[in-house]
């Protein structure tokens, strides 16, 4: 390896770190009807603690069927309503336990900021989450936190290391009866860049080792 190739290696390493640092996801911003553009989000339910996906329903513009007796998730694309701000996602838990799953695209550390709950004020259609019961977080199917948030907003911020395919579920539990379970849920995720000092040091030492001066006995004999 010469200094030029070493320089290229350092540039590539720095670029890789920059790309990792730029990786981020947002529940509302990434939400898409029928498809998930980045493949990270799955909209579903978690009755009894077991996650299962909800299918997209074009008739109600939601994941799951937006109807009595059903669990569903939707994005408010209209005016402020049901305690859900315009452009935000609701985990509707009037009759079930709505949940959203984020799946790690690759192994690494990821920083999460989660806020469950919104205004309990009414809109044209109805009130917000004042009858919802509890919200919680599971990592790889294992409960990490679960707290009451009735008439309030519950939030968590944490960093977790995940293998590729690892999951983080955010859920809202039905209180045992139907009524105003529309629950604004905000989730942002960002990849935490790995430390590069050791990598750069290794590359640098490797380059120096390869560039060490030849000893006299290694030098070719003069003609």
pLDDT band per the 50, 70, 90 thresholds, residue 104: very high
- 120's enclosing H/E stretch is none
d(CA 94, CA 69): 8
pLDDT band per the 50, 70, 90 thresholds, residue 4: very low
pLDDT of residue 133 exceeding 50: yes
Q: What is the pLDDT of residue 130?
A: 56
Q: CB–CB of 78/86 below 8 Å?
A: yes
pLDDT of residue 181 exceeding 80: no
Domain 24-193 has CATH 2.60.120: yes
User: For 114-123, 135-144, 172-181, 204-213, which range has the lowest pLDDT when averaged over its residues?
Assistant: 204-213
Q: What are the helix (H) ranges across the chain?
A: 3-21, 27-30, 197-210
Domains of the chain, by residue range, sit at 24-193
Choice between 206 and 164, residue whose per-residue pLDDT is larger = 164
């Amino acid at each position: 390896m010469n200094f030029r190739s070493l320089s290229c290696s350092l540039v590539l390493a720095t670029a890789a770190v920059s790309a990792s640092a730029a990786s981020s996801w947002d529940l509302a911003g990434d939400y898409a009807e029928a498809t998930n553009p980045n493949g990270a989000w799955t909209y579903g339910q978690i009755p009894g603690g077991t996650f299962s996906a909800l299918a997209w329903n074009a008739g109600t513009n939601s994941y799951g069927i937006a109807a009595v007796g059903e669990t569903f998730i939707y994005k408010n694309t209209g005016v402020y309503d049901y305690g859900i701000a315009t452009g935000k996602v609701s985990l509707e838990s009037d009759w079930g336990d709505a949940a959203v799953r984020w799946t790690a695209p690759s192994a690494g550390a990821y920083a999460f900021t989660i806020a469950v709950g919104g205004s309990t004020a009414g809109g044209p259609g109805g009130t917000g989450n004042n009858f919802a019961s509890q919200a919680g977080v599971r990592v790889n199917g294992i409960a990490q936190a679960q707290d009451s948030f009735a008439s309030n907003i519950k939030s968590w911020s944490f960093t977790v290391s995940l293998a590729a395919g690892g999951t983080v579920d955010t859920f809202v539990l039905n209180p045992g009866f139907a009524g105003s379970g529309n629950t604004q849920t905000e989730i942002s995720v960002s990849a935490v860049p790995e430390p590069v000092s050791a990598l750069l040091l290794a590359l640098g030492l490797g380059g120096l080792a390869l560039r060490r001066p030849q000893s006299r006995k290694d030098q070719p004999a003069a003609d």
